[in-house]
Amino acid sequence: EAQVTQNPRYLITVTGKKLTVTCSQNMNHEYMSWYRQDPGLGLRQIYYSMNVEVTDKGDVPEGYKVSRKEKRNFPLILESPSPNQTSLYFCASSLDGLNTEAFFGQGTRLTVV
């Protein structure tokens, strides 16, 4: 089944403790991206990647890192999480980033205390 898989689904952590949210797609998509969703603010893009070893900042990249060592995986790294990073995070992938449908993962609800 074609899908985008994120892990974990839920995570509660403490301020400053490094964490990684994994994202994997099995559709051989080139374009992958991370979003955060907050009430009243919609979906805001954090980082995106057009292909392996190519990553670019989205609208709200501060406090986040990403890597794209393999085509299928695009992990989101929070080196030193803070409470303002408490949010619902979505990973998404699309065929080539040239104006094609984005397929979203099931979301990761992160709470930083």
Partner 1 sequence: GENVEQHPSTLSVQEGDSAVIKCTYSDSASNYFPWYKQELGKRPQLIIDIRSNVGEKKDQRIAVTLNKTAKHFSLHITETQPEDSAVYFCAATKGGDKIIFGKGTRLHILP
Beta bridge partners of 19: 78
Q: C-beta of 35: minimal distance to partner 1 in Å?
A: 8
The mark string for 67-106 relative to partner 1 (x by CB under 8 A, - otherwise) is -----------------------x------xxx-xx-xxx
17-56: contacts with partner 1 (CB under 8 A): 31, 33, 35, 40-45, 48, 50, 56
Minimum distance from CB of 8 to partner 1 (Å)? 15
Query: What type of residue is 64?
Result: Y
Estimate to the nearest angstrom the gap between the alpha carbon of 24 and the chain centroid: 10
Cβ distance to partner 1 smaller for residue 38 or 79: 38
Q: Which positions touch partner 1 (CB under 8 A)? A: 31, 33, 35, 40-45, 48, 50, 56, 58-59, 90, 97-99, 101-102, 104-107
